[in-house]
C-alpha cells in the first residue's frame, strides 16, 4: 500500500484536517496518478456535512481531479507514464448492466463506485477522493485532458463541466435555443459558457443581483435578478430549456412558469426537497427532469469539446490549508466561480 497525505473530515460537524490514507499499488489494469489540482464542488460540502444523509466517515472529498500518470499496471493499454489525465465523480461500475453497456456508467444499476464517499465494486473498500496527492484508478475510468487546456481551469470540467454539458446535449440545445441557467456558481458559470458554445441565447437567473456584469462578461446575453418578484411575470413563457444548478431550496413552480410550451427544466442542483405543483407542468405540457453527471465516453467528448471551443472554468486556486474557509465562501455564493486546490501544497506533508 502507498501511504498518501490527504485532507479528511472525521464527522459531519468536523472541519477538514490533515489525514493519511493508503492507496493501492497499481494492479494490472490500474494507473497511479499524481494529483496536481482538484476542484471544490458544492457536492463535496453537501457530503462532508452529511446534508444528503448516509455519508461515510472519515471522508476525503474531491471529484474534479487532474494529474499526471506516475505509474501503470503491466496490462494497461490506454495510458503512459507522464500523460495528463482526469478523474471525475466515479472510479468504477459493474460494467455489465444495461446502463454500463450503454456508456452511462453514472446510472449503473448495481451502483457506480463514487470517487469518494463510496465503496469499490467489492462493496467494502472505501474510496477516497482528490484532496490527496495521488490516486490509483482503473484505466477505463480515467480520461485524457486535451493539450492546451490550463490544468487548474480544466479540473472543474470533470464534474461541473460534464454535469452541465450532458443535459444541454441530451435535451437538444443548439443554435438559437433559448436557455436559462439558474444559479451562477461552479456549475452555472460553466453551463453558460457551454450553452453559448452550442450557439444558444443564454440568460442567467440569479439570486445575487451583484453578479449581473460578471454574467454578461462570461458571455450571457441577459441577466434576471430573481429576488424581484416581477421577474417571474415579466419573463413567463420565455425559455426552451432551464438548467437549474441551485444548491439551496427554492420554488421550482415559479421557474417552471418561465418555460415555453413543451419546454424542459432540468434539475442538476440537489438541495433539500421542495413542493411541486402539477399546474405549471400541465398548462404548457412542460417537462421537469434531472440529470446526473455523465458517462466516461461523454466525459471525454465534453473535454474535447471544451478544448475545441476554449471553454474552461474561472477559478481561484488555493492551498489546501484554506479549504475550510473556501467551503464557507462557497456556501455564501462568494466564489467566482470555483475553488481549485493546488495539491503541491500538500506534497511531503505525510
Q: Burial, 17: exposed, middle or buried (Cβ in 10 Å; 0-12, 13-18, 19+)?
A: middle
Residue nearest to ligand NAP (CB): 185
Task: Establish if 185 lies at the interface with ligand NAP (CB under 6 A).
Answer: yes
CA atoms within 13 A on the CB side of 86: 32
Give the range of 115-123, 140-148, 203-211, 296-304 binding ligand NAP by CB under 6 A. 203-211
Of the candidates 160, 191, 206, 178, the residue with the CA atom closest to the CA atom of residue 66: 160
The b/e string for 299-337 (b: 16+ C-beta within 10 A; e otherwise) is bbbbbebbbeeebbbbbbebebeebeebbebbeebebeb
DSSP assignments along 86-144, one per residue? EE-SEEE--S-SHHHHTT-GGG-TT--EESSSSB-TTSSSBP--SSBSEEEEEGGG-EE
- Counting contacts by CB under 6 A, is residue 161 touching ligand NAP? no
Binding status of residue 164 toward ligand NAP by CB under 6 A: no
Closer of 122 and 217 to ligand NAP (Cβ): 217
Nearer to Zn ion, 100 or 224 (CB): 100
Strand order in the sheet with 287-290: 222-225, 201-206, 178-182, 239-244, 259-267, 287-290
Of 149 and 180, nearer to ligand NAP (C-beta) is 180
Q: Count residues binding ligand NAP (CB under 6 A).
A: 30
Nine-digit cell string for 317: 486556486
C-beta closer to ligand NAP: residue 69 or 159: 159
Q: Is 93 an interacting residue with respect to Zn ion (CB under 5 A)?
A: yes
How far apart are the C-alpha atoms of 231 and 256, rounded to whole Å?
Answer: 13
- The least distance separating ligand NAP from the CB of residue 147, rounded to whole angstroms, comes to 26
Distances (CA, A) of 113 to 118, 134, 141: 6, 18, 10
Residues in the chain: 350
Choose among Zn ion, ligand NAP, none what residue 269 binds, the Cβ cut-off being 5 to 8 Å by kind.
ligand NAP
Measure the CA–CA gap between 78 and 139, rounded to whole angstroms: 7
Task: Kindly tell me which of 51 and 120 has the beta carbon lying closer to ligand NAP.
Answer: 51
Binding mask 62-101 for ligand NAP (x = CB under 6 A): ----------------------------------------
* 31 is a site residue for Zn ion (CB under 5 A): no
Closest CA to 93 of 302, 301, 305, 297: 297
24 or 250: CB nearest ligand NAP = 250
- Rounded to 5 degrees, φ, ψ at 168 are -60, -40
Binding flag, residue 143, Zn ion (CB under 5 A): no
Residue 108 touches Zn ion, criterion: CB under 5 A: yes
Q: Binding to ligand NAP by residue 115, rule CB under 6 A?
A: no
Sign of the CA dihedral running 40, 43, 48, 49? positive
Per CB under 6 A, the list member of 250, 284, 322, 336 interacting with ligand NAP is: 250
Which of Zn ion, ligand NAP, none sits in contact with 247, Cβ below 5 to 8 A by type?
ligand NAP
Part of the chain binding ligand NAP (CB under 6 A), chosen from 2-10, 71-79, 80-88, 268-276:
268-276
Interaction between residue 167 and ligand NAP (CB under 6 A)? no
- Out of 137, 143, 158, 159, the only residue in the binding site for Zn ion (CB under 5 A) is 159
Q: How far apart are CA 139 and CA 183, in angstroms?
A: 34
Site string for ligand NAP, 27-66 (x = CB under 6 A): --------------xxx--x--------------------
Where on the chain is the footprint of ligand NAP (CB under 6 A)?
41-43, 46, 159, 163, 183-188, 206-208, 211, 245-248, 250, 268-271, 291-293, 330, 333
| Residues at the interface with Zn ion (CB under 5 A) | 41, 43, 93-94, 97, 100, 108, 159
Amino acid at each position: 500500500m502507498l501511504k498518501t497525505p490527504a485532507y479528511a473530515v472525521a464527522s459531519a460537524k468536523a472541519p477538514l484536517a490533515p489525514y493519511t490514507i493508503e492507496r493501492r499499488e497499481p494492479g494490472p489494469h490500474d494507473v497511479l496518478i499524481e494529483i496536481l489540482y482538484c476542484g471544490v464542488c458544492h457536492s463535496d460540502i453537501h457530503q462532508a456535512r452529511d446534508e444528503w444523509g448516509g455519508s461515510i466517515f472519515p471522508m476525503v472529498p474531491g471529484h474534479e481531479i487532474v494529474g499526471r500518470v506516475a505509474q501503470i499496471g503491466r496490462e494497461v493499454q490506454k495510458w503512459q507514464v507522464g500523460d495528463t489525465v482526469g478523474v471525475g465523480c466515479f472510479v468504477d461500475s459493474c460494467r455489465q448492466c444495461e446502463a454500463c453497456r450503454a456508456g452511462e456508467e453514472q446510472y449503473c444499476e448495481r451502483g457506480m463506485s463514487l470517487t469518494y464517499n463510496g465503496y469499490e465494486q467489492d462493496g467494502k473498500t472505501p474510496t477516497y477522493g482528490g484532496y490527496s496527492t495521488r490516486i490509483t484508478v482503473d484505466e477505463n475510468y480515467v480520461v485524457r485532458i486535451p493539450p492546451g487546456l490550463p490544468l487548474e481551469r480544466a479540473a472543474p470540467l470533470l464534474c461541473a463541466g460534464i454535469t452541465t454539458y450532458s443535459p444541454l446535449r441530451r435535451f437538444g440545445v443548439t443554435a438559437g435555443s433559448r436557455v436559462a441557467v439558474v444559479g451562477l456558481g461552479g456549475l452555472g458559470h460553466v453551463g453558460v459558457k457551454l450553452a453559448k458554445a452550442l450557439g444558444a441565447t443564454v440568460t442567467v437567473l440569479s439570486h445575487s443581483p451583484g453578479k449581473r456584469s460578471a454574467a454578461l462578461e462570461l458571455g450571457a446575453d441577459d441577466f434576471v435578478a430573481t429576488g424581484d418578484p416581477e421577474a417571474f411575470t415579466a419573463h413567463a413563457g420565455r425559455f426552451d430549456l432551464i438548467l437549474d444548478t441551485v444548491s439551496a431550496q427554492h420554488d421550482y413552480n415559479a421557474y417552471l412558469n418561465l418555460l415555453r410550451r413543451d419546454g424542459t427544466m432540468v434539475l442538476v442542483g440537489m438541495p433539500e426537497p421542495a413542493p411541486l405543483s402539477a399546474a405549471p407542468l400541465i398548462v404548457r405540457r412542460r417537462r421537469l427532469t434531472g440529470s446526473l453527471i455523465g458517462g466516461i465516453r461523454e466525459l471525454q467528448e465534453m473535454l474535447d469539446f471544451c478544448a475545441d471551443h476554449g471553454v474552461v472554468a474561472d477559478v481561484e486556486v488555493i492551498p489546501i490549508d484554506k479549504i475550510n474557509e473556501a467551503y464557507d465562501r462557497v456556501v455564501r455564493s462568494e466564489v467566482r466561480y470555483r475553488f481549485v486546490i493546488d495539491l503541491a501544497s500538500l506534497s511531503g506533508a505525510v
